[in-house]
Amino acid sequence: MTSDGAREGWRFWSVRDGQLVSPFTGDVLPLDGVAVATCIHETPNPTCECGIAYYQDKADVLKASKTLCDPGIAITLGEVTGPTYADWRAPRYQVQDSRHGFSVSRWVTLPTGLRAHAYQVTAIYTNNTITTDYGVPVHPRADIHV
């Protein structure tokens, strides 16, 4: 567990109907741009899987984005609050590919991230169209520099 202050974090999202959507839970990001973890106890919890997943390092979110091979993905910079724990749900995910007119699923391994109580989006990087006004700047995906 790390300290309680606010700190920087990176996430990737699916874009659906111009909104940011958590790619694995399907949760839509609320208009205030803050994703908050809810569970039966305070979140996150070392004995549970709950918490908002994020990466501390930009290199990890870029690697995850490349591995997922999804041109419609959005990456966000944000502010993480609350205690954080390692995300032991990572790193294996099953994803759908439908690039050739049919859909296949494959397993991918993503970098291991962290999970926090809350994540406030402060900037969005995507080549997809965001029509929801989260009150934060939207940049082209290429504006993230390694």
**Nearest distance from residue 85's CB to Zn ion, in Å?**
10
Measured from the CB atom, the residue of 39 and 69 that comes closer to Zn ion is 39
CB closer to Zn ion, 21 vs 48: 48
If the CB atoms of residues 11 and 117 are measured against Zn ion, the closer one turns out to be 117
Candidates 59, 87, 89; CA nearest to 75 is 59
Q: In angstroms, give the least distance from the CB of 100 to Zn ion.
A: 39
How many residues does the structure list for the chain?
A: 146
| Residue 102: CB minimum distance to Zn ion, A | 37
Radius of gyration of the chain (CA): 15
89 binds Zn ion (CB under 5 A): no
Positions in 35-74 near Zn ion (CB under 5 A): 39, 45, 48, 50
User: In angstroms, rounded to a whole number, what is the distance separating the alpha carbons of residues 51 and 84?
Assistant: 8
User: Strand (E) positions, the chain?
Assistant: 7-16, 19-21, 34-36, 52-54, 74-81, 85-86, 92-97, 104-109, 114-116, 118-126, 138-139
If the CB atoms of residues 50 and 80 are measured against Zn ion, the closer one turns out to be: 50
Binding site for Zn ion (CB under 5 A): 39, 45, 48, 50
